[in-house]
Amino acid sequence: MSVILPGFNEEANVETAVRRTLECLEHACHEFEIIVIDDGSSDRTCEIAERLVQEDGRIIVLRNERNLNYGVSLKRGIRAARCEWVLHNGMDLPLAPEDLPHFVRHFDDADVIVASRTSLTAHSPWRRLTSRTNNWLLRTLFSPRTRDLNFTQFYRRSFLERVPLRSTSPAFVTPELILRAERLGLRVREVPIEFRDRKAGKAHFGKPKDILWTLRDMVSLRLRTWLTGWGE
């Protein structure tokens, strides 16, 4: 498994995130790597991550020279991933690494595994509003079968290598991947799981410019697929 951990100014979380993920992967997988992407942080995120690389060669650090945002960083991590399965997670670990066994047991009968949150109560009122609006737009425009398109997912790398992923916005890269998997008739399995609240650091999702960026990607994909289909 390749685990992608993008983050911006996450010095309060990066070491704990990497160490917890490393410990859990050692019990869940025979072969793995952790790809830390420092998205142009101005704090010690990269410094701490690079120190961890010296302790374990299965940790890889990539740095964006400037802040490019979560979607762009995630796409960079996907291109760098080398293992059969690819997972992305936030450095604040909204998906607890200790929950990995719930997903690994489905690797033989799925191509995409979606972590489906059982509750969104940990979100702020603003995040709940933007999340519900985003969810309504996704269902109105695309009618997905998958319930939760904006949390964390596991993908077979063979799927990621052939899918024409066009989005770059913070909140539409993963929905596009899931939607394309559904349209290709791949096996998309949802696994209910608890959402873990952020304990340290500051969240960076939900800014107006990111919402507009996500909306642009969403409408662009809908228009393109109406005109040319999903087989581009």
Tell whether 156 is covered by a domain: yes
Tell whether 31 is covered by a domain: yes
pTM flag (> 0.85): yes
In angstroms, the Cα distances linking 230 to 80, 183, 187 are: 25, 7, 17
Tell whether 46 is covered by a domain: yes
Taking a C-beta distance cutoff of 8 angstroms, is the pair 88, 77 a contact? yes
pLDDT in tens, the chain (232 residues): 999 999 999 999 999 999 999 999 999 998 999 999 999 999 999 999 999 999 999 999 999 999 999 999 999 999 999 999 999 999 999 999 999 999 999 999 999 999 999 876 656 776 777 888 899 999 999 999 999 999 999 999 999 999 999 999 989 999 999 999 999 999 999 999 988 876 776 666 667 888 999 999 999 999 999 999 887 6
Count of domains in the chain? 1
CA 45 to chain centre: 19
Tell whether 232 is covered by a domain: no
**Which residue in this structure is represented by tokens 């662009």?**
220
Q: Is 16 exposed, middle or buried (0-12, 13-18, 19+ CB in 10 A)?
A: middle
Tell whether 50 is covered by a domain: yes
Query: What sign has the CA pseudo-torsion 211, 213, 219, 221?
Result: negative
Tell whether 122 is covered by a domain: yes
Tell whether 48 is covered by a domain: yes
The CATH number linked to 40 is 3.90.550.10
Supply the range of the domain harboring residue 186. Answer: 2-226
Taking a C-beta distance cutoff of 8 angstroms, is the pair 104, 27 a contact? no
